[in-house]
Amino acid sequence: MDTVASLSKFHEEGSAQIHPVVLSGGAGTRLWPLSRASYPKQLLQLVSERSMLQDTVARNLNDVGFAAPLVVCNEGHRFLVDDQLRQIGVTPQAILLEPLARNTGPAIAAAALWLLARDPEAMMLVQPSDHIIAAPEAFHAAVMRGLAAAQAGNLVTFGITPDRADSGYGYIQAGETPGGIDGVLGVERFVEKPDLATAQRFVESGAFFWNSGIFLMNARTYISELARINPAMLEACEGAIRDGKQDLAFFCLCADTFSKAPSLSIDHAVMEHTSLAAVVPVDMAWSDVGSWPALRGVAASDSDGNVLQGDVLAHRVHNSYIRSEGRLVAAVGLDDVVVVATHDAVLVADAGSASEVSGVVAALREQNRPEAQQHVVCHRPWGNYRTVDAGDRFQVKRITVKPGERLSLQKHYHRAEHWVVVCGTAMVECAGKQVLVSENESFYIPIGAEHRLENPGKVPLQLIEVQSGTYLGEDDIVRLSDSYGRS
């Protein structure tokens, strides 16, 4: 019986649905400058025409035994996540918003509690949103192998059959089969990122697997084990659910109570301390895309071993990853390098050192530089804007408003704005009056005037905004009303 038929049979027999729980809280700092806090790697199109989040959600066979996904994400990414799900026609059960990052242990606990309030027998398939699985059929087959163990009360993880020694991954040492379930092994121990020599011994032994960070478990079993092993985490997550609130399409976990949860991964919080851990070995062409060399390894390379993306010219370059998001990048006489150019930053690194990019991000944060957090293009629920130029007492932005969307009704104390429409039609509300502004027309917003911009058309509205004044920071926005619930 193939995987789809097995899932259909599982669903028809009245078993509880499998609830995909997609974790989208990572920062992806090792893929800077492309991945940044405001727009991390799971939201980027790195390996296909869809983002990694979209690929993860689309992997879950919704019509044959899978419920709609439950997504857990950073509060600051909520509209981006919602928009990306809409783009692929997916309506999630809910999007749970983390007010601050507390690692995967609390995130999964909050998801389990939310599900149990609606499905007392909920089976969770927990997946990071920023991993590649190039062989989805092998993944689904592994899920079916692990299902019997999960229904029997095991906390099932999926171990990747290693093809090399790698010190960048955690390892799982397999033990005896629990309860004689075919295709499932017990877990002797978890090992966090060993040195290369130890990783080599692990691979040669044949008893170790890479830890994929993917789990299949009954939500009630996870909560029961968490209550026994880490009651403080459970208490904090129960409070975060109890005191949380619905906000539009999102459920906001209570910040005060969620912040009290110990910041621990599910491995440290539960899996390393439970006797219920089990592992399903699987070879599914998996990668966590944790660094630029890892991304090069999963992309198609040319005859010189290079992955070249964007406007790139390479001469006598070998085994390198070179990517441009705009300007021409020319490289000559290089081997084993990573070059990534965005609109405001360029990374140049030896491939062997590319995993150390997180240190660059940490240094940028210490210097309070915006390149650690923001892209030149800033995304908003209504569209986006890009800073084109800036100087003393002026700033120029290119603004794009999606069809049918509008900005908040707002005013500024320190700046005036001049809008020039270059594509589409704008509905401008200013000082209580509404005016349609067409292409090649402009409108002036004086300092202190209450105003709003809306796109009433069916094509994206694009305009140039020229700001002038004594202070041009984004915090000089006083929102009077907002369609997206922002304060």
Residue 39: DSSP 8-state: B
Instruction: Name the percent of the chain lying above pLDDT 70.
Output: 95
Contact criterion met (CB below 8 Å) for 135 and 283: yes
pTM for the structure as a whole: 0.89
Distance CA 260, CA 263 (A): 9
Contact criterion met (CB below 8 Å) for 184 and 147: no
From the list 414, 420, 427, the residue with the least C-alpha distance to 443 is 420
* Residue 282 neighbours by CB distance under 10 Å: 23
Contact criterion met (CB below 8 Å) for 389 and 383: no
Average pLDDT score over the chain:
92
Angle at CA 378, nearest 5°, toward 375 and 379?
Answer: 130
Contact criterion met (CB below 8 Å) for 408 and 476: no
| Residue whose entry in the numeric block shows the structure tokens 């999960």 | 150
Length of the chain: 487
Output the pLDDT for position 2: 56
Distance CA 98, CA 24 (A): 10
Rg (CA), the chain: 25
pLDDT higher than threshold 60 for residue 9: no
Q: Coil, helix or strand for 183? A: coil
- Over residues 372-379, mean pLDDT: 90
* 202-249 confidence digits (pLDDT tens): 999 999 999 999 999 999 999 999 999 999 999 999 999 999 999 888
What residue segments make up the domains of the chain, in order of their start? 3-287, 292-362, 377-481
- Fold match, 3-287 / 377-481: no
Distance CA 153, CA 130 (A): 28
Report domain 3-287's class: alpha beta
Contact criterion met (CB below 8 Å) for 266 and 104: yes
Phi, psi of 307 (to 5 degrees): -110, 110
| Residue whose entry in the numeric block shows the structure tokens 């599914």 | 284
* 178-210 confidence digits (pLDDT tens): 667 888 999 999 998 899 999 999 999 999 999
Distance CA 364, CA 263 (A): 24
Output the pLDDT for position 179: 67
pLDDT higher than threshold 90 for residue 68: yes
Output the pLDDT for position 406: 97
Distance CA 276, CA 280 (A): 13
Please state the separation of Cα 197 from the chain's center in Å.
32
- Encoding tokens for residue 423? 């594509």
* Residue 97 neighbours by CB distance under 10 Å: 24
From the list 17, 222, 210, the residue with the least C-alpha distance to 106 is 222
Residue 46 burial class via C-beta count within 10 angstroms: exposed 0-12, middle 13-18, buried 19 and up? buried
Q: Give the CATH architecture of domain 377-481.
A: Sandwich (2.60)
